[in-house]
Structure 1
Amino acid sequence: MAVPGNPRLVGRGSECGVLDQMIAAVRTGESRVLVVHGAPGVGKSALLQYLESSATGMRGLHAVGAESEMELAFATLHQLCVPLLDRLTQLPTPQRDALETVFGMRAGNPPERFLVGLAVLSLLSDASEGGPVLCVIDDAQWMDRASTQVLAFVARRLLAESVALVFAARGRSQDLLGLPELEIAGLGKDDAHALLDSATPSRLDHRIRDRIVAEAGGNPLALLELPRERSVTQLAGGFGLLHTESLPNRIEQSFLTRIEKLPTQSRLLLLIAAAEPVGDPALVWRAAERLGVTPATAFDEVADGLVSFDVRVTFRHPLVRSAVYRAAEDADRRAAQLALAEVTDPLGDPDRRAWHLASATAEPDEAVAAELERSADRTQARGGLAAAAAFRQRSVELTIDSSRRAERAVAAADASVRAGDLDAARRLIDVAELDAHSESLRARAQLVRGRIAHAAGFNHEAPPMLLDAARRLEPFDMELARETYLLAWGAAAWGAADNASLEAISEAIKELAPREGIARPIDLVLEGCALLVTEGRGTAITTLRSAMSALVDLPVPDLLKWGWAACGLSPAVWGEQVMIETYARAAEVVRTAGILTELPIYLASLGAATSLIGDFATATGIVAESEAIAAATGIPLAPYTTLILTAMQGKEAEASALIAATIEQTGADGQLTGVTTAHWAASVLYNGLARYEEALSAAKASTRIAQLVVSVWVLPELIEAAVRAGEDKAARGALARLVDEAEAADTDWAQGILARCRALLAEGATADPLYREAIERLGRTLLRPELARAHLLYGEWLRRQSRRVDARQQLRTAYDMFVSIGMTAFAERARRELLASGEKVQKRAVETSSDELTPQERQIALLVGEGLSNPEVGARLFLSPRTVEWHLRKIFMKLSISSRRQLRDGIPDRR
């Protein structure tokens, strides 16, 4: 049965019903996303036409993926957004700059695709202020990768913007998996018969008709096209149906049969139109004229049902385009591509011109290779990493001179690593090493090979490769050599390399010639890293302090380049103030720069440090932001902040499951930092729960593999657990190590922890002044949990000394602090001690009514409370301003408040 109002849509009532519901929801202020997929010819384009005709009064945005444009970054996205570019001034500056950069409207540093995605989300949200918006992307299987990733990001963030985003593709795209889908299958038998009857000039024998319907599999285009080129006799006798090809091939062959009957010039015009991805009729005709094709000689024949020339050049079906291009002779394809290159504006569209030239070139050609190289530079500057890699790869193929080919192969391999194409990177590095004529180039190739190993997770292989590359780079590029040494050190220290690799890298760093003039922060960091491994913390501490001071004001380019490694050393100096400042600035710089793939690394460090000072509300917000990034980018999130936070909160079930999963996953991946952190978190959890044997086991497991700064936090847990478990020998061994670690630092944090641990092992009255010293020193730090634990341990000791009055004072202070911070397990431990001391104490809950909020709602409430506007909150959490407002209405309702000012006074706390 045909769809009312559209007789050609036979048998698509249910599919049209889904589309109708989508349009109705969007008209009421909601957003909807749909991926329509099915085999070629099954009717996706017809359904999109129905959708667009049904969306009366809605603003329509349309784009079509083109097979020949799959290597041009943001090509499909640009098609979709062109009608909205006059709204760019409404976007926050970083978002506006990102879009203008990727669209070639301004020069600038390449933005991350997720910042581009946020800009597109904001652009669509702004456009929907004037009414609902319908975005349709046809032939999505041929979108360029950059556009696919950005639009997939947008699709996952749409919520309350009155925007419908619809993709039509032949199959399920990996980047679009998880989005709502509508699979378009073949027509049912009765509908297929009805459609076939409408397309055949005479009545068929029912057996022949049944066979056609069966072989077409309900594919509407097949039912319309397969009979088209058969005579009445062939159809009646079934002789025209003897084909063994797959259905798409048979449909394509049907189009080819029609194409082959056209005059030569008509076929050539079709070929030019198929090779021109934008559908610009003026451009197609200019290229055609270069090959001697004019409307008078070609247009009438071509227009007969296969292609239309209107505002855009549109083929009747994508299979027509593919049939035309694939069936053409190689020489004709190259001629069409060359003609298109010659008429494409070299200033306005240089990259598409370069790609046409490359497609027209059969032999190596230095001029074209150089043009591709320039296009790669431009594309990379716009953030099109995959496209830049494709340009560089093709440039290598067209390079004649072997030494030049080696240089381009190194650059192409490096671009491929950044784009995540490690297999291509390996092939290109093989080419580079084979053709390289200089040691400088071979050293750069080795650096890329090391980066490939590091990116692939080969943690044992990467450090020695990078060390070799750094050594070989020294005579040619000392700055790059220093950065490579730091990368090698970081890979060895935080991966799974053995100590021999870390020591070898550290020794090599020590042998570096000092920089002339004033040392830069990277020099201090390198020296501190090397000394920490080779000489110990006592020798390294002065250099590390200088490095950390410099890092607080590290220039942004340096921070973005190697700040990740330097920031990891902050705890080594036992300075919580510089640690917090360094992490906070680093996270803000990376966030502002829009480098979202690296932001979770900095947020994990900031979240852990924020947890350590007892600011659990902020730490929870950081976790929410990290999870928003993970959801937006699809990049797995290492749960380090959540591990530490849930362990300190004493949430046994949640923390235990997370600890076990982290140990299993990071252990399998060879990421020993993750294993160490998980064991440390377990020791904190079980010390809080007073399950000291389990705490000791976890602490021992952590210290066995602990590297460098992790022992700052693990050793105190081991000492406390060992003392309570009666294993004094283990406790004293750990204390000896802690003395070496802490005495050199000479900060209140270091000396306070050391005094507390010494007190645990002290005999008789000698413990008393040590506990008092610990409380005094930790009281001068930001570390409220550590101070509360000092009060707890002192109170426990006092009770065991039968000094109950003094004990109650310390235990009450500890209990109040733990409840205030939110450390449930430690609070319960302090409460039990208070009861044992003879004091009556009512158990107090640490949760508040604000826990009614979801983590995302809580983070929005906190950010609004800090004074951020809806666009600023949206930029932080990858939401549109309208979605932020939608969440705020729910927050106000849950908290029974009515204004943003009330959130600025703090989230209401109703115990």
Structure 2
Amino acid sequence: MPGERHGPVLRGRDRECEALREVLAAARSGDSRVLVLHGEPGVGKTALLQYLSAQADGFRVTRVAGIQSDMELAFAGLQQLCGPLLDRLDDLPGPQREALDVAFGLGAGPAPDRFLVGLAVLSLLASAADTQPVLCLVDDVQWLDEVSVQTLGFVARRLLAEPVALVFGLRDGGAPVLPGLPQLPIAGLDDTGARELLESVMPGRLDERIRDRYIAETRGIPLALLELPRNLSAAELAGGFASGTHHSAGRLEERFVSRIKALPAPTRQLVLAAAAEPVGDAALFLRAAAYLGIPVDALGPAEDAGIIEFGPRMRFHHPLMRSAAYLAATVAERRAVHGALAAATDPASDPDRRAWHAANASAGPDDEVAADLETSAGRAHNRGGVAAAAAFLERAAVLTSDPARRGSRALAAAQAKRDAAAPAAAQDLLASAELCPLTALQRAQVTRLRAQMEFSRSRGGDLGAPQVADAAAGLLAAARGLDGLDDELARDTYLEALAATMFAGSHGEPGAIERVAGAARTAIGKVTQIHRPIDHLLSGVAELIIDGPGAGSRSLRTALDLWCEQARRNDAGALSMLSLAFPIVQESVGGELWDEEVNRRMAAVMVRFARDTGALTVLPAALAFRAGTCVLEGEFGAAANYLDEADAISAATGYRLIKYHRLHLAAWRGTPADAVGLIEAAAADGTRRREGRLLDVAGFCTAVLYNGMGRYDEAFAAANRSVEYLNLGFGGWCLTELVESAAHLGELDIARHAARALEARAGTSGTDSGLGAVAKAQALLADDEDADRLFTEAIARFERSSAVAQLARSHLSYGEWLRRANRRSDARAHLGRAHDMFTRMGAQAFADRARRELVAGGAKVRKQPVASGDQLTAQESQIARLAADGLTNQEIGAQLFISTHTVEWHLRKVFVKLGITSRRQLRTRALPG
């Protein structure tokens, strides 16, 4: 084959081999490459990975193959892959090194976020690649433990400028694995390749018609073709006129089972022991063979049959043979082998695998093994292996004889399964737990867990999922059930119920949010002295909803201050709040306080805290919140950068992408081709999920867009619908859109009603932003003698705030009023200021509206392109800002969850784009955000 130097000869695989050589060439030149080879069993994925390894001259090669029996051991696959690279562990920053130590069981400490572990692996690969390119081969990825797959998926999506190639082999079928990564489908060989391969392994000449039948029946699957000589009798092969049975790839595993069953009983037992021992440790295998009382020489027939190879590591000739060996055994044979492996495994160095083998050896309840499994679950959880902890607890529950203890373990396993994003398994475990005698508290916990999962399903839009409002009602019932049993947990659940009710919004039951707030206020009233931020937050929100605008503000500010202090200390309690319903409630509260300084501080603390703790599950929401504050400040380029990063992390971690602030930014930018489709898609999504808040946000953003374009009738219709429900956070700003559109249309009664509602919400805030919004709304409806004064007040107040976008709109509205009052010179001053501000921030529609007014007022205005804010990409802008702040490349990489090489690569591009040559010059340049 052209370009090959050595390695196995792969017939009919020119295209695939060329693609693999391109992967190596890119890595040699310093560019990362990721590729997923996928196809059905036996199609040749393993052979292609072997070919790739053989071509990798000058690479540091590390590999792992997934094994079914190892799927429940947290980080087992990742540890095996990274093992050869751990000599570079000391190169990692302290938090990353500690996270990897804990994940791999090499050290003790709090459970690391799995994405912080991912960053550590990324840094480890980058460090190893400093001296030579690195090739990571991951075969049978579908059988790796879940947290290893998640971590490797994250790493694969964050690789960029490192000489690293990461190539996976994935069996088709089953749940999606590694979605979104570059794929190379591997199909059967074409007729020419299949014919060459078959003829190369047949001992004699086949009749052409029989040969073509075999090729057709195997569909060109290489393993099926290679196995034909082993599965045809001498009589069938004689003369080349075989009349054997069907040889499809779907029956390969069955044929392997038949071959293994034909082995002598002692040999079968040793092959089974090798199949059940995933690491391939020959010393452990020998100890297990001794416990079974079988001499290792008994393995000879299996080696002669080409099933297994005995050496420093036990190696099956194909992964299907390993699973076939397990399938060929009876239940009793499997238990005996797992028992021997448990006895042979060192309880000090590998207690978790020993417990797992012991569990598989148990024929019935075994409380000692169950206790060991529970201990292993604790260790797995401490390492961040939630899925492994769930598996240990699930098995522990099965082996527990005492019904009450069994119920407790099943409930704990259900919680862990839910945290590991396995809701179906969690529901089954809850059903099992309910068959056991549970305490009243445990029954309440079951109710809460079910309600949480129903809420997640409703927001995820699953088919058959309950409406968001029904899920919110379930959370309220769960909170009430916890009252008097675990009051802190009850209050946490009330906050979740409030958040769910906010999401349901106008599609919920009438009066639902007031009922939840009333129940929450009753619960918080039982607390003699409030200490927790979450309790201050709950108290303040309940007061705000029940007593009206302005109520609860002291409690709300205290809650936000206390949480910020917790987050600055990297307190685990701060993360716990973020994982509850805090983000939506906190952001809504920030909006109701009308204090952009509080919002900016909260957003900055959230982002920093999520970065520092490696909490990528909450970082996208924090980045989106920060983007929202940037929109209000008129920093659209920075907002886009934050949202792009949020989307990239959401995609890398498999979480839902953030919508709300993306809509708001698109509306302000005012390009219909971009905004209308985005808003309509969000509205359709909200309708499908019955999520009223998303629908009303879409209406609010529609009003912003069309007010900017001067299409006031459409803005009025959208805003009028969206203000019907008490949408905390953005509802006040939606009232400003309604006042403006209604005033332009002459709908003065509706405009005055909206202005009074706005005054009730924002007028009690005491902030310049809130009072500026009220003054502007009143100015739009005032008589001439009052309008001048009110517009001036609005501008003065917004100038003292950071609400730059609203300041520009106040100049625009004032300029429009001045032009109608025939004060053309004054009008041009304010309209010109608005036009310049909108152009600079990138508000296309509002800039065009200001330009039209200037032209109508007699000014000559050249239409200018609005600022895009993205001369630098999102990642480049972030890196440039951090470098300007004095952070090192390693510190920047830790902040942004990328490697140091990637930081260097981006900085080189930044320097070229900005025309500078040093980091010092960055400090003199105006950068977005």
Equivalent residue, structure 2, for 1:854: 873
**What is the CA-CA distance between 1:207 and the residue it aligns to?**
4.5
Structure 2 counterpart of 1:472: 481
Change (3 A) 1:897 1:295: same
User: How far, CA to CA, are the matches of 1:405 and 1:394 in structure 2?
Assistant: 10
User: Separation in 1 of the partners of 2:888 and 2:10?
Assistant: 47
1:628–1:878 Cα contact (<8 Å) kept: no
For residues 576 and 816 of structure 1, the distance between their equivalents in structure 2, rounded to whole angstroms, comes to 23
Q: Does 1:225 align with 2:227?
A: yes
Task: Give the equivalent residue in structure 2 for 1:215.
Answer: 217
What residue number does 1:236 align with? Answer: 238
Offset at 1:129? Answer: 1.1
1:78 has 2:79 as partner:
yes
Distance 1:121 1:77 in 2: 12
Structure 1 equivalent of residue 514 of structure 2: 503
- How does 1:475-624 map onto structure 2 within 5 Å? 475-496=484-505, 497-512=508-523, 513-554=525-566, 556-562=571-577, 563-564=582-583, 565-624=585-644
Give the equivalent residue in structure 1 for 2:832: 812
User: Superposition pairs for residues 776-791 of structure 1, below 5 Å?
Assistant: 776-791=796-811
SS at match of 1:705: coil
Q: 1:518 offset after TM fit, Å?
A: 5.0
Equivalence for 2:461: none
Residue aligning to 2:372: 371
1:732 aligns to 2:734 (yes or no): no
CA distance in 2, matches of 1:396, 1:832: 72
Helix, strand or coil: the match of 1:323? helix
Q: Which residue of 1 aligns with 2:708?
A: 688
Aligned to 1:44: 45
Say what the alpha-carbon RMSD is for the aligned residues.
2.6
8 Å CA contact 2:217–2:248 kept in 1: the answer is no
**Which structure 1 residue ranges, 5 or more long, are not aligned?**
none
Q: For 2:104, give the aligned amino acid.
A: F
- Which of these residues, 910, 915, 920, is aligned with residue 891 of structure 1? 910
In the aligned structure 2, how far is the partner of 1:890 from the partner of 1:237? 68
Name the CA shift for 1:221/1:790 in 2 (closer, same or farther; >3 Å): closer
Which whole-Å CA distance do the structure 1 matches of 2:357 and 2:31 have between them?
42
Secondary structure of 1:63's aligned partner: strand
Match of 2:442 in 1: 441
Shift of 1:842: 4.0
TM-score of the two chains, using structure 2 as the length reference: 0.92
Deviates more, 1:537-546 or 1:787-796: 537-546
Q: Which of 752, 761, 765 lines up with 2:781 in the alignment?
A: 761
- C-alpha distance in structure 1 between counterparts of 2:532 and 2:211, whole Å: 81
Q: 1:717 to 1:197 in 2, by over 3 A?
A: closer
How far has the Cα of 1:298 moved from its partner?
4.1
Give the superposition deviation at 1:5.
Answer: 5.1
CA distance in 2 between partners of 1:130 and 1:853 (Å): 31
CA–CA distance in 2 between the matches of 1:506 and 1:597?
Answer: 28
Q: Secondary structure at the match of 1:342?
A: helix
Offset of residue 290 of structure 1: 0.5
Q: 1:257 offset after TM fit, Å?
A: 4.7
Distance 1:899 1:499, change over 3 A: farther
The match for 1:867 among 876, 879, 886 is: 886
CA shift at 1:237, angstroms?
Answer: 7.0
Q: Is the 8 A contact 1:80 1:135 kept in 2?
A: yes
- Taking a change above 3 Å as real, the CA distance of residues 235 and 515 of structure 1, as seen in their structure-2 partners, is same
My pick for the range that moved more, 768-777 or 891-900, is 891-900
Closer, same or farther: CA 45–451 of 1 in aligned 2, 3 Å? same
Distance 1:402 1:70, change over 3 A: same
Pick which of 125-134 and 741-750 moved more: 741-750
Alpha carbons of structure 1 residues 806 and 298: separation in structure 2 relative to 1, 3 Å:
closer
Task: Count matched residues.
Answer: 907
Change (3 A) 1:256 1:161: same
1:284 matched residue in structure 2: 285
* Paired position in structure 1 for 2:157: 156
Equivalent residue for 1:182? 184
Q: Which residue of 2 aligns with 1:902?
A: 921
Residue 462 (structure 2) aligns with: none
Query: How much has 1:470 moved relative to structure 2?
Result: 1.8
Residue by residue over 1:408-463, the C-alpha shift from the partner in whole angstroms, topping out at 9 and shown as x without a partner, is 22212211211121122222222223323321111111111111111111412222
Q: Aligned pair in 2 of structure 1 residues 240, 281: CA closer, same or farther (>3 Å)?
A: farther
The whole-number CA distance in structure 2 between the counterparts of 1:391 and 1:199 is 45
CA deviations on 1:448-483 (whole Å, 9 max, x unpaired) are 111111111141222222222222222222211111
1:121-177 CA distances to partner (integer Å, 9 max, x unpaired)? Answer: 221121111111111112223222222222222223323211121212332672223
In the TM superposition, what are the counterparts of 1:70-469 in structure 2 within 5 Å? 70-171=71-172, 174-228=176-230, 230-236=232-238, 241-244=243-246, 246-249=248-251, 251-299=252-300, 302=303, 305-457=306-458, 458=466, 459-469=468-478
Q: Distance in 1 between matches of 2:23 and 2:349?
A: 38
- Corresponding residue SS for 2:229: coil
8 Å contact from structure 2 (residues 219, 248) kept in 1: no
Tell me if the contact between 2:205 and 2:240 (Cα under 8 Å) persists in the aligned partners: no
Deviations 1:356-405 (A, max 9, x none): 11211221222222222222222122222222222222222222222222
- 1:7-86 equivalences under 5 Å are 9-86=10-87
Quote how far apart the aligned CAs of 1:630 are: 2.2
Output the CA distance in 2 between the equivalents of 1:321 and 1:408: 32
Q: For residues 909 and 158 of structure 2, what CA distance do their matches in structure 1 show?
A: 18
CA contact (8 A) 2:448 2:475 kept: yes
Q: Which moved more, 1:144-153 or 1:274-283?
A: 144-153
Once the two structures are TM-superposed, the CA of residue 681 in structure 1 deviates from its matched residue by 1.8
Q: CA deviation at 1:686?
A: 1.8
Cα drift, residue 188 of structure 1: 4.1
TM-score relative to the length of structure 1: 0.94
- CA deviation digits over 1:225-278, x for unaligned, max 9? 3323544323227897543574343x4454445434433322221111111000
Describe the SS at the equivalent of 1:60.
strand
Q: Residue 821 of structure 1: CA displacement?
A: 3.4
Q: Indicate if the aligned counterparts of 2:855 and 2:861 stay in contact, CA closer than 8 A.
A: yes
Distance across 2 between alignment mates of 1:905 and 1:284: 65
Say if 1:738 and 1:754, in contact at 8 Å, map to a contact too.
Answer: yes
Please tell me the residue identity of whatever aligns with 2:366.
Answer: D
Q: Alpha carbons of 1:201 and 1:436: their partners in 2 closer, same or farther (altered >3 Å)?
A: same
Question: Once structures 1 and 2 are overlaid, which stretch shifts more, 627-636 or 129-138?
Answer: 627-636
SS in 2 for 1:61: strand
User: 8 Å contact 1:628–1:877 — kept in the other structure?
Assistant: no
Shift of residue 66 of structure 1?
Answer: 0.7
The answer as to whether partners of 1:541 and 1:744 remain within 8 angstroms in 2 is: no
Task: Structure 2: give runs of 5+ residues left out of the alignment.
Answer: 459-465
Q: Distance in 2 between matches of 1:450 and 1:75?
A: 33
Aligned to 2:689: 669
